[in-house]
Amino acid sequence: MSTDPLTVVRDFFAHFGPTHDDMVATARRLCHDDLWWASAGFDPPRVTSLEQLVADLEKAKASKGVAGFRFELVHAAAEGPYVLTERYDDSVDADGRLLHSFKVMGTLKVEDGRIRWVRDYFYDTREFAERYLPEDFATDRPPLLDDHMRAGD
């Protein structure tokens, strides 16, 4: 097993789904027991251990609707133990059909070949433009990360 942070994070997102069982197995293989995961604005984080993450995934597995997730890394870059990711986190139904696509920027820290902590930032460029820009901005065009376009293309 590689301990290179970028390789670990790429492996994590390549195998963390699409089913909840895949997610649990990958978390157990690539995350520290003392995991810290802050996502979707929760601070302090809701997840403060690997067992808590697994429990959340097991609870999600039992619920109706979302059968799992798949992840598309658009960009990933590492500096020391830290890996920055730009990605799509897609929820899927039992047939693998897309339910919702989340645009996410995230920072992960890898120690000893395992993910120690994660902080994710969800964003929606339309919401930002509507709330914070002083004038209309390209409202007649889709945001850069919609459809098949990716940042940097």
Please name each of the domains of the chain with its CATH number: 5-122 (3.10.450.50), 124-153 (no CATH)
pLDDT tens digits, residue range 34-80? 999 887 655 656 788 999 999 988 888 887 788 889 999 999 999 99
Selected residue with higher pLDDT from 130 and 152: 130
- Strands of 114-122's sheet, edge to edge? 31-38, 114-122, 98-111, 82-92, 68-79
What lies within 8 Å, CB to CB, of 6 at 6+ separation is 76, 77, 78, 83
Q: How far does Cα 106 stand from its chain's mean position? A: 7
Q: Identify any residues that bridge with 82 across adjacent strands, giving them in sequence order.
A: 79, 109
HSE toward the beta carbon, residue 119, CA cutoff 13 A: 8
Write down the mean pLDDT value for the chain. Answer: 82
pLDDT tens digits, residue range 103-125? 889 999 999 999 999 988 876 65
- CA distances 19 to 62, 101, 120, 130, Å, are 12, 16, 20, 35
> What six digits make up the tokens of 150?
């990716």
Pairing of strands 68-79, 82-92: antiparallel
- CA distances 7 to 14, 140, 142, 153, Å, are 10, 39, 33, 23
